[in-house]
Structure 1
Amino acid sequence: MNPIICSAIRSKQVIRLYYRGGFRMIEPFCYGASTAGSELLRAYQTGGYSESGSPSGWKLFRVSEISDLTLTDEHFESTRPGYNPKDPAMVTIYCCI
């Protein structure tokens, strides 16, 4: 478990990270594990690189593929349309808003 991710979720702090080809700015909402045991992070991406060409919106990140994770000085609101704290992609939740 990554304590930096849980700290960012608790403090509603924007994260900058590198994932699959580029840097992204995200609002972390839910961090847990899948049925296969992979650590996952559900976040709302607000900017940066996107494989799909859509840099804004809900994304699911495999924590094992994240690098250069840093906390920013920015904070966000605790609500976004479409957020489900009982994320169906995760069977274990370490921390969430």
Structure 2
Amino acid sequence: MNTGTIRNSIANRNIIEFIYKRHLRIAEPHVYGIKNGKRQLLVYQIGGSTSSGRLPDWRRINIDEISGLKVTEQKFAGRRGNPSAEHNDWDAIIAIVE
């Protein structure tokens, strides 16, 4: 996957759409980083579907498992309230919403 697209969507605050674990996700990308050797994306999922909880909510996504990534023209305002501590733990942060 071209991670430049992810970095640009974070920098420009564009809402993204993608398929992850057979579900369409509509989300605000907040952090792209590395955790336990895996490239991950922390998103605030605002639409689509999920099998693991309620919406809207924070989700940590393995980038290598994303398909059909689309960057929309829709923008989001910026950082949201802090996610849980488990979502703030990174080995390295590559891009983050300012």
- TM-score, structure 1 normalization: 0.89
Find the counterpart in structure 2 of residue 10 from structure 1. Answer: 11
**Residues 37-94 of structure 1 deviation map (CA, whole Å, 9 limit, x = unaligned):** 100000100010101241311110000110000100100011212248x921x21111
Query: Matched residue pairs, number?
Result: 94
Query: Identical aligned pairs, as a percentage?
Result: 28
Find the counterpart in structure 2 of residue 92 from structure 1. Answer: 92
Between 5-14 and 51-60, the greater mean CA deviation after superposition: 51-60
Following the alignment from structure 2 to structure 1, what is the Cα–Cα distance between the partners of residues 49 and 62?
16
Following the alignment from structure 2 to structure 1, what is the Cα–Cα distance between the partners of residues 83 and 12?
17
Structure 1: which 4+ aligned runs deviate by more than 4 Å? none
Find the counterpart in structure 2 of residue 54 from structure 1. Answer: 54
Q: How does 1:1-97 map to 2 (within 5 A)?
A: 2-35=3-36, 37-83=37-83, 87-88=88-89, 90-97=90-97
Alpha carbons 2:30, 2:79 under 8 Å: kept? no
Q: Unpaired runs of 5+ in structure 2?
A: none
Following the alignment from structure 1 to structure 2, what is the Cα–Cα distance between the partners of residues 83 and 77?
16
- TM-score, structure 2 normalization: 0.88
Which secondary structure state, in structure 2, belongs to the residue aligned with residue 9 of structure 1? helix
